[in-house]
């Protein structure tokens, strides 16, 4: 078992919200890091990041305790942002916000590494390594480089400056290695609730990676789209009953389509 610090077990009424059924089908979980804008200009150098844990299409939030880590990566430099987090309500549940001022051109990745979330309905812990990107002042270099996370989706389509209808291609990595035959869940952040799914199957799209860990998905609507590549950890954590429980590792990427 891996040592774990500050483990928070979420149960009771909040845990019940994590297993919503839509005609018998469970909705997908997504760690979320959503910036207020996808690119910055010399006249607008500030960006606000909102962190949450949710079912994004349904607009149903869950409690997100303060993440273990929150930081920014650009040009090989890491900037700690954990101390900037302020509590906010997101989808009527606990979330967090950070205001960041960008000074130099670059491609800026924002990464959340959360405290493990106990999901009683699935009898599993969930850890979603979640990232998003903001481009600043016309720079677009380095957007296709791995960040070295435990698990991540590396974009093969530039993850900003895209239109609805573009096809997003990404590669799933686990401990730096491609993951073949990995299931990737995809959802639209249906922020205003205006998009109505024709059926339960349309809420969460599902793709499998190829032998090189690569997948492609065509985003049909404008807005924020989340991609969650799911794998099982090679360790367990102690559950509320003291028994060893499996851990779901999610590589989550959020990108915007205009």
Determine the straight-line distance between the first and last CA of the chain, rounded to whole angstroms: 44
Does residue 7 lie within any of the structural domains?
A: no
pLDDT digit string (tens) for 54-80? 999 999 999 999 999 999 999 989 999
CA separation for the pair 103, 2 (Å, rounded)? 38
Q: What is the enclosing helix (H) or strand (E) of 16?
A: helix 12-16
* 3 state SS of 67: coil
Over residues 162-185, mean pLDDT = 98
Range of the domain at 92: 12-257
Over residues 127-146, mean pLDDT = 96
CATH of the domain at 121: 2.60.40.10
Whether the predicted pLDDT of 16 surpasses 50: no
Q: What are the φ/ψ torsions at residue 206 (nearest 5 degrees)?
A: -135, 130
Does residue 189 lie within any of the structural domains?
A: yes
CA separation for the pair 48, 34 (Å, rounded)? 8
Does residue 6 lie within any of the structural domains?
A: no
Mean pLDDT, the chain, rounded, equals 90
CA separation for the pair 49, 192 (Å, rounded)? 18
- In this prediction, residue 5 carries a pLDDT of 39
pTM: 0.88
Give Cα 3 to chain centroid, integer Å.
24
- In this prediction, residue 242 carries a pLDDT of 94
Ramachandran bin of 200, using left for φ above 0, alpha for ψ from -120 to 50, beta for the remaining angles: alpha
pLDDT digit string (tens) for 24-39? 345 688 999 999 999 9
Does residue 109 lie within any of the structural domains?
A: yes
Alpha carbon dihedral 56, 201, 152, 68, in 10-degree steps, equals 40
Does residue 1 lie within any of the structural domains?
A: no
Higher pLDDT, 8 or 184: 184
Over residues 211-223, mean pLDDT = 97
Hey, what are 63's tokens?
């409690």
Of the chain, the percentage scoring pLDDT greater than 90 comes to 86
- In this prediction, residue 28 carries a pLDDT of 84
The domain total for the chain is: 1
- In this prediction, residue 11 carries a pLDDT of 35
Does residue 146 lie within any of the structural domains?
A: yes
Tokens 């690569």 found at:
214
pLDDT digit string (tens) for 134-143? 999 999 999 9
- In this prediction, residue 38 carries a pLDDT of 95
- In this prediction, residue 249 carries a pLDDT of 97
Does residue 4 lie within any of the structural domains?
A: no
Q: What is the enclosing helix (H) or strand (E) of 55?
A: strand 46-55
Does residue 5 lie within any of the structural domains?
A: no
């Amino acid at each position: 078992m891996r040592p774990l610090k500050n483990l928070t077990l979420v149960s009771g009424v909040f845990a019940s919200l994590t297993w919503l059924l839509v005609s018998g089908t469970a909705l997908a979980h997504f760690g979320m890091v959503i910036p207020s804008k996808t690119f910055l200009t010399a006249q607008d150098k500030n960006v606000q990041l909102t962190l949450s844990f949710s079912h994004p299409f349904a607009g149903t939030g869950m409690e997100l305790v303060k993440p273990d880590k929150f930081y920014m990566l650009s040009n090989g430099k890491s900037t700690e942002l954990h101390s900037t987090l302020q509590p906010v309500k997101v989808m009527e549940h606990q979330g967090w916000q950070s205001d960041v001022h960008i000074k130099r051109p670059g491609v800026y990745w924002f990464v959340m590494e959360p405290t493990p979330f106990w999901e009683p309905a699935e009898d599993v812990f969930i850890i979603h390594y979640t990232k998003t990107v903001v481009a600043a002042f016309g720079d677009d270099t380095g957007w296709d480089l791995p960040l070295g996370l435990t698990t991540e989706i590396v974009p093969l389509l530039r993850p900003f400056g895209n239109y609805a209808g573009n096809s997003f291609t990404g590669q799933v990595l686990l401990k730096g290695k491609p993951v073949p035959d990995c299931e990737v869940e995809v959802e639209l952040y249906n922020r205003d609730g205006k998009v109505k799914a024709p059926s339960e199957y349309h809420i969460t799209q599902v793709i499998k990676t190829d032998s090189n860990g690569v997948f492609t998905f065509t985003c049909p609507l404008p807005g924020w789209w989340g991609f969650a590549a799911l794998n099982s950890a090679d360790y367990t954590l102690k559950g509320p009953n003291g028994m060893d429980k499996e851990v779901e590792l999610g590589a989550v990427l959020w990108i915007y389509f205009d």
